[in-house]
Amino acid sequence: MRVGVLGASGFTGVELLRLCASHPEFDVVMAGAETQAGRAVSDLYPSLAACYSSLAFTKASTSDLRGLDVVFLALPHGESQMLVRELVGEVGVLVDLSADFRLRDRGAYSQWYGQAHASPELLGRFVYGLPELFRPDLEGASLIAAAGCYPTAAGLALAPLVRAGVVEPTGIIVDAASGVSGAGRKLAHSSHFNTVDEDFTAYSLLRHRHTPEIEQVIGGEVLFTAHLAPMNRGILATCYARSRPKPAAGVALSTEDVIGVLEEAYCEEPFVVVSEAPPSTKATLGSNCAHLTARVDPRTGWVVSICAIDNLTKGASGQAVQCANIALGIDEISGLPRVGVYP
Catalogue the active-site residues. Answer: 149
Question: Which has the closest alpha carbon to 178: 224, 238, 227, 133?
Answer: 227
Tell me if residue 9 falls in helix, strand or coil: coil
Q: Residues 6 or more apart from 300 whose CB is under 8 A from it?
A: none
Residue whose C-alpha is closest to residue 296's, from 176, 167, 169, 177: 167
What is the DSSP secondary-structure string of 214-242? Answer: HHHHHTS-EEEEEEE-SSSS-EEEEEEEE
Per the CB < 8 A criterion, the answer to whether 143 and 94 are in contact is yes
Rounded distance, CA 3 to CA 94, Å?
A: 10
Within 8 A by CB and 6+ apart from 44, the residues are: 9, 36, 57
Count the alpha carbons within 13 Å of 59 in the hemisphere toward its beta carbon: 5
CA triplet 114, 190, 46: central angle to 5 degrees?
A: 105
Distance CA 69, CA 25 (A): 11
Beta bridge partners, 129, equal 146
For 124, residues 6+ apart whose C-beta sits below 8 A from its C-beta are 104
